[in-house]
Amino acid sequence: MTNECNKHVSIECARQVGANIFEGGASVTNACFHELVSVGKICHDLFFNSSISSKPNVNKSKALAKNAQVWSLYVLQLQFLSHLLSQFQP
Protein backbone atom coordinates (compact mmCIF):
# COMPACT_ATOMS: atom_id res chain seq x y z
CA MET A 1 0.00 0.00 0.00
CA THR A 2 2.83 2.42 0.80
CA ASN A 3 4.26 2.08 -2.71
CA GLU A 4 0.86 2.91 -4.20
CA CYS A 5 0.59 5.97 -1.94
CA ASN A 6 4.10 7.10 -2.89
CA LYS A 7 3.18 7.08 -6.58
CA HIS A 8 0.62 9.83 -6.06
CA VAL A 9 2.34 12.17 -3.60
CA SER A 10 5.45 14.09 -4.60
CA ILE A 11 8.57 14.21 -2.45
CA GLU A 12 8.11 17.98 -2.10
CA CYS A 13 4.57 17.50 -0.82
CA ALA A 14 5.72 14.88 1.67
CA ARG A 15 8.38 17.32 2.91
CA GLN A 16 5.82 20.11 3.28
CA VAL A 17 3.45 17.92 5.25
CA GLY A 18 6.22 16.51 7.44
CA ALA A 19 7.50 20.00 8.21
CA ASN A 20 3.96 21.12 9.00
CA ILE A 21 3.38 18.27 11.45
CA PHE A 22 6.82 17.88 13.01
CA GLU A 23 8.34 21.35 12.75
CA GLY A 24 5.33 23.42 13.65
CA GLY A 25 3.37 25.29 11.09
CA ALA A 26 5.39 25.20 7.87
CA SER A 27 3.13 26.15 4.99
CA VAL A 28 1.62 23.57 2.65
CA THR A 29 0.57 24.51 -0.88
CA ASN A 30 -2.96 23.98 -2.19
CA ALA A 31 -1.56 21.54 -4.76
CA CYS A 32 -0.08 19.51 -1.93
CA PHE A 33 -3.39 19.56 -0.02
CA HIS A 34 -5.02 18.13 -3.12
CA GLU A 35 -2.35 15.46 -3.59
CA LEU A 36 -2.61 14.29 -0.02
CA VAL A 37 -6.38 14.29 0.30
CA SER A 38 -6.78 12.58 -3.07
CA VAL A 39 -4.76 9.57 -1.85
CA GLY A 40 -6.87 9.38 1.29
CA LYS A 41 -6.55 9.11 5.03
CA ILE A 42 -5.00 5.65 4.91
CA CYS A 43 -2.04 6.94 2.90
CA HIS A 44 -1.77 10.03 5.11
CA ASP A 45 -1.59 7.78 8.17
CA LEU A 46 0.98 5.49 6.52
CA PHE A 47 3.18 8.50 5.74
CA PHE A 48 2.80 9.78 9.29
CA ASN A 49 3.60 6.40 10.88
CA SER A 50 6.62 5.96 8.64
CA SER A 51 7.86 9.45 9.51
CA ILE A 52 7.32 9.19 13.24
CA SER A 53 9.14 5.87 13.45
CA SER A 54 12.30 7.64 12.27
CA LYS A 55 11.97 10.46 14.83
CA PRO A 56 12.71 8.98 18.27
CA ASN A 57 12.83 12.37 20.03
CA VAL A 58 9.35 13.46 18.98
CA ASN A 59 6.52 13.61 21.52
CA LYS A 60 4.31 10.98 19.89
CA SER A 61 1.04 12.01 21.51
CA LYS A 62 1.51 15.64 20.43
CA ALA A 63 2.53 14.56 16.93
CA LEU A 64 -0.51 12.28 16.67
CA ALA A 65 -2.81 15.11 17.73
CA LYS A 66 -1.16 17.47 15.22
CA ASN A 67 -1.48 14.80 12.53
CA ALA A 68 -5.25 14.53 13.11
CA GLN A 69 -5.59 18.31 13.19
CA VAL A 70 -3.62 18.71 9.95
CA TRP A 71 -5.69 16.06 8.14
CA SER A 72 -8.94 17.74 9.18
CA LEU A 73 -7.63 21.11 8.07
CA TYR A 74 -6.59 19.73 4.67
CA VAL A 75 -10.01 18.21 4.09
CA LEU A 76 -11.81 21.41 5.14
CA GLN A 77 -9.63 23.58 2.91
CA LEU A 78 -10.24 21.37 -0.11
CA GLN A 79 -13.98 21.30 0.56
CA PHE A 80 -13.95 25.08 0.78
CA LEU A 81 -11.97 25.45 -2.46
CA SER A 82 -14.25 22.98 -4.24
CA HIS A 83 -17.31 24.89 -3.04
CA LEU A 84 -15.78 28.18 -4.15
CA LEU A 85 -14.96 26.84 -7.60
CA SER A 86 -18.44 25.39 -8.01
CA GLN A 87 -19.88 28.90 -7.56
CA PHE A 88 -18.21 29.97 -10.81
CA GLN A 89 -19.36 27.05 -12.95
CA PRO A 90 -22.56 27.36 -14.99
Q: How many domains does the chain contain in total?
A: 1
Domain boundaries, position 56: 2-86
pLDDT at 90: 64
Question: What pLDDT band is residue 51 in, cutting at 50, 70 and 90?
Answer: confident
The larger pLDDT score, comparing residue 2 to residue 33, is at 33
Kindly indicate the confidence band of residue 78, based on its pLDDT and cuts at 50, 70 and 90. Answer: confident
- Cβ within 8 Å of residue 43, ≥6 positions away: 1, 4, 5, 8, 9, 36
Q: What is the largest CA-CA distance in the chain?
A: 52
Show the beta-strand stretches assigned E in the chain. Answer: none
Q: What percent of the chain is modeled with pLDDT above 90? A: 1
Burial 15-37 (b: 16+ CB within 10 A, else e): ebbbebbbeeeeebeeebbbbbb
User: What is the per-residue pLDDT for 1?
Assistant: 62
> Which tens digits make up the pLDDT trace of 1-23?
667 888 888 889 888 888 888 88
